[in-house]
Structure 1
Amino acid sequence: MHRPLAAPSRSVAASAPAGTRIYAVGDIHGRADLLSEITARIDDDIRRRPIARTVEVYLGDYVDRGSDSRTVLDLLAVRLVVHGAVCLRGNHEAVMEGFLQDPTILPYWLQLGGMQTLASYGVELRDENETAFNPHRHFVDAFPRAHELVMRCLRDQFSCGDFLFVHAGIRPGVPIEHQDPNDLIWIRDEFLDSTQSHERFVVHGHTPVPHPDIRQNRINIDTAAWRTGTLTCVAIEGSTILFL
């Protein structure tokens, strides 16, 4: 796995609680191989640098585009149960959840990379307009109980100290408690173009960047793992952001 092209560490104008280290992982998109490497790196870092409390935060977009979404959710289920990981909802999870309830959104999901997710569960579409069988029924039947539980555990946001973790961003000028959940998983330009200080320093993904993008009010760690082979993980301790 390629490491992010970024400085080994950076300081920001925000701080995690004393005695706490936060690990945040960017958009995975079906790259179970990269997620396995990242979780091993997190576990190794904790062994080498013990601290009173660690928090793992996964920023969403676990499925679609990459080839092994099913195994990604298997791995996240373990991190949830064993490590108490925080898993945020990305827009791709929202669309997949929508398809589980409403088969008519299949064409839209396929545009976002849903075919790869279906294939990882053994639901093969020979043609996007295939009508010989019911992909919705096959996917619902193949979707395991453990993955349903992962979906139920997904959060729209998570705060720790001065840091706010969301998938896409927040709407500037709106208090955190009044943010629209759709903005948290879909917003782009209004948030990305904003230079104003928010209530907290925002850690997010959703919009691919060639390397982690640190601004005075946010950091974007979506490095398009599914196509670049770079899955970014940052360790936040005090006011320091370290790239694992």
Structure 2
Amino acid sequence: MKLHWSPRSPFVRKVMIVLHETGQAGRVECVRSAVAFAAPPNPAVLADNPLGKIPALVLDDGTTLFDSRVICEYLDGLHDGPRLFPAEPAARFRQLRRQALADGLTDILLLWRNERMRAAGPDPVIAAAFETKVRACFAALEADAAALGSTAFGIGQAATVCALGQMEFRYAGSFWEAAHPGLAAWYREVQARPSVAATAVRDDSGAPAGDDSRSPFAFASA
């Protein structure tokens, strides 16, 4: 199998966490595939995924799977260990709900960064809406923090790791940890999990971080 991959993508990271959790990392060839919202589509990615987005998983028969949710569920069906997508309905929908929340937060963070990088500057109405949604998402994650740690690691926890990793990577100085102590404690603890440690976000662009890495708001003072 071939995976269109980037060490900076939070959604690629979710797939990589699943690969490590299920013992399948060695089955996939990771192909560095650069994509950007405000740039022409990467022809190599577009050939496999008409959306021009990563991750995209090319199976041995040439079929391509996308997006990360589809890929993760497919991979979870290829092993005999504990499932990240539980079969029991109540547990399954708890994990799917967590994934939806975390993936939605990640989407907002990515879109907000693109908005901030516009030459004319961000639209204040859009920026305010993004901030309101990010604050609401973090409040919901804080309320779920105890359950994140007390239930078996699943696709919801994996997606949450990726959302918080994106927050660290692109929104330095938001001080979310101080405002959400339960979530911060869980996040510190989960860093020791091998699949999480092995997939830490890495900027291989060679470019300096720049102002876009700073958060446009703060949850609390330092």
Alignment TM-score, normalising by the size of structure 1: 0.29
Bigger relative contact order (CA 8 A; separation at least 6): 1
* Greater fraction helix: 2
* Greater fraction strand: 1
